[in-house]
Amino acid sequence: MTVTKGEPPAGGTAAGAPPERRSHVPGDGSATAVAIEEARRAMLHDVRNRKRTRIGADVLMEALIRQGVDTLFSYPGGVILPIYDILADYPEVRHILVRHEQGGAHAADGYARASGKVGVCMGTSGPGATNLVTGIATAMLDSIPMVALTGNVASPLLGKDAFQEIDITGITLPMTKHNYLVRHADDIPRVVAEAFYIASHGRPGPVHVDFTKDALQGETRAEHPSAEEVAAGLPGFRPTIEGHPKQLKTAAREIAAAKRPLILAGHGVLIAEAWDELAAFAEKTQIPVAWTLLGIGAMDEGHPLAYGYMGMHGWKHVNRAIQAADLLIAIGMRFDDRVTGSVKTYAPYARIIHADIDPAEIGKNVAVEVPIVGDAKNILAGLTRLVHPVDPADRAEYLDQLAEWRAESEASPWHGSGGWREGAMTADFVVARIGELTNHDATYVADVGQNQMWTARYTRFKRPNSHVSSGGLGTMGFAVPAAMGAALGNPGAETWALAGDGGFQMTSQELMTLAADRIPVKIAILDNKKLGMIRQWQEIVYGGNYHSSHLPGPDFVKLAEAYGIPAWKATAPDQVDDAIRAAQAVDGPALVWFEIEEEQNVFPFMTAGKGLSDLIENWGGPEE
């Protein structure tokens, strides 16, 4: 394969043949895989004479298939060998052999975000399980439906500090929606069914199930419970779906009385698949919509009532509108500190309607006037029925004011590139080109830091679930493995991972998984040779003390090439489009290394403890 450094290939086409398929993935259809499966089946037939015992591992696989699981991100190990021993008998489930369990957990997370289904990952006991932890915590903070499976030592050895034994359920307890330790094969059908039910109902979240090795090996005739039996067996888990009619009426009255209302759309709108209801509600009431980081995609950014991204690095006009609003209608968001800044000075004129499926979110960070507990789809539909239609002319003064603020904010030289000269290789330009050349219809998976904020601000999202980002936990290293899952979760969409050079290096081992399984993820490395967000804080808050934020990296083209992944490097704005197109033309994974300006900041910027009215946007830049 030809790899061009410094300049993109002429004509923008991919050079070279795709890498050789090396996977042994059951059901992936490659000749190698089919041959191995056939040999395996023949062997099982001989050894077990078609009458092998049904063991716990079988029941687990049956249970996964009953839940509609088609992809399992996993890495083998001693105590889960009973599962690997029978895995080939279940070709319905595609096994993706990740190169590190953390990658598996993020992949399951990305799969869930892109597909709306439950993502599943697995690791062995001890280090396999602890490696999953970062991914489980990421899913917890962002309410992602995930089931994480781990093995543990045989139950007689539990608590004896056996080889690769760790109290993993003790570790995951505070970072899961629920967790289980299963010691008997007979319990597996019920526990797995409960795990999926809990992970996907109410406010979603990760559920961890730990199986002792003897549970996986034990013979069982246990039957799988029905969905009704599962729900009936969980008397402590009865999420509220319907918004209370009285609260909806109160909210409708507040909406009718408001002069400067603003809708704050969060992740809950996407989880509830309530994007149509959101648009209908906004249109009927003529109320503009702002969104949180994870609420991106809840409304097409081209919609006339779409106002923008809020918070610490949000658009200035959006934060200005929040600070001026007399009513905030918050749907499926949680007033995170990155959204509010200082609560004391947050939205000082606003009464707040707060709808969330999790009652504990209401009143947790800000006191609200109208709490509504329930599912966003249900609540938005209910509110839309109750409110009177508003003529756009009656809101003209307010909407004109917002439009004026938007124009003012967009005219600021700090709005986009942070004051960089025309023609500089700025990240906002690269991100905007990726958005443009993918018709804003790809799945864009961000890492964490400046790259994440640039992605959120400049991609321009049109489609629900097209934006994947680690919001709550802020997990560097998320993008590449999560994009791997997202590409499999929504194979119809082109998938781009947008990572900084720092985050990319945290999980770059998954390049091998992408190559081996030919998962078509396009990776954009926004390389400023810095931990950019750390550097930005050091510049603005810590007096220019740049300790440890300079981060030399490898030759990323050579690195990708070593894994058999075609790669290009772009160092100037006029190379950007060709490099993106070259990556797009590859049938399989590809990587583009964008060498961007080293000291570009993300503006506006609100430092910790400040309020939304105290945005920094004119910090001395390179031109001064």
Q: Is residue 51 flagged as an active site residue?
A: no
Q: Is 490 in the site for other proteins (CB under 8 A)?
A: no
* From 65, 256, 367, 541, residue interacting with other proteins (rule: CB under 8 A): 367
Q: Is 240 in the site for other proteins (CB under 8 A)?
A: no
* From 24, 93, 162, 237, residue interacting with other proteins (rule: CB under 8 A): 237
Interior CA angle at 623 toward 615 and 539, to 5°? 50
**Residues 6 or more apart whose Cβ sits within 8 Å of residue 219:** 53, 54, 55, 185
Residue 205 vs 449, nearer CB to other proteins = 205
Q: Is 169 in the site for other proteins (CB under 8 A)?
A: yes
Using a 10 angstrom Cβ sphere, with 0-12 exposed, 13-18 middle and 19 or more buried, the burial of residue 385 is exposed
Q: Is residue 512 flagged as an active site residue?
A: no
Q: Is 334 in the site for other proteins (CB under 8 A)?
A: no
Residue 235 vs 492, nearer CB to other proteins = 235
Residue 127 vs 170, nearer CB to other proteins = 170
Q: Is residue 175 flagged as an active site residue?
A: no
As a whole number of angstroms, the distance between CA 67 and CA 505 comes to: 34
Work out the number of other CB atoms within 10 angstroms of the CB of residue 161: 8
Q: Is residue 101 flagged as an active site residue?
A: yes
Residue 369 vs 577, nearer CB to other proteins = 369
Q: Is the peptide bond before 604 cis (omega within 30 degrees of 0)?
A: yes
Q: What are the DSSP calls for 416-451, one per residue?
A: SSSSPPTT---HHHHHHHHHHHTTT-SEEEE-SSHH
- Among the listed residues 43, 163, 223, 259, the single catalytic one is 163
Residues between 189 and 208 that touch other proteins (CB under 8 A) = 198
Q: Is 364 in the site for other proteins (CB under 8 A)?
A: yes
Residue 237 vs 546, nearer CB to other proteins = 237
Helix axes 56-66, 188-200, angle to 10 degrees: 30
Residues between 205 and 234 that touch other proteins (CB under 8 A) = 234
Q: Is 170 in the site for other proteins (CB under 8 A)?
A: yes
Q: Is residue 505 flagged as an active site residue?
A: no
- Among the listed residues 37, 67, 73, 101, the single catalytic one is 101
As a whole number of angstroms, the distance between CA 248 and CA 240 comes to: 14
Interface mask toward other proteins for 312-331; x: CB under 8 A: --------x--xx-------
Q: Which two tokens stand for residue 111?
A: 């799969």
Q: Is 348 in the site for other proteins (CB under 8 A)?
A: yes
Judged by CB under 8 A, the stretch of 95-103, 362-370, 586-594, 600-608 that binds other proteins is 362-370
Interface mask toward other proteins for 388-427; x: CB under 8 A: ---------xx--x--------------------------
Size of the site for other proteins (CB under 8 A): 35
Structure-token match 């949000």, residue found: 314
Judged by CB under 8 A, the stretch of 47-55, 77-85, 171-179, 506-514 that binds other proteins is 171-179
**Residues 6 or more apart whose Cβ sits within 8 Å of residue 527:** 500, 501, 553, 556, 593, 594, 595, 596
**206-212 and 261-265: which strand pairing?**
unpaired
For 394, which DSSP code?
G
Handedness of CA 298, 301, 306, 309 (dihedral sign): positive
Residue 43 vs 173, nearer CB to other proteins = 173
Q: Is 377 in the site for other proteins (CB under 8 A)?
A: no
Beta carbons of 181 and 173 less than 8 angstroms apart = no
3-state secondary structure 583-596: HHHCCCCEEEEEEC
C-beta of 111: minimal distance to other proteins in Å?
A: 24
Could you list the active site residues? 101, 163-164, 213, 533
List of residues contacting other proteins (CB under 8 A): 169-170, 173-174, 177-178, 181, 198, 234-237, 259-260, 320, 323-324, 343-349, 358-360, 363-367, 397-398, 401
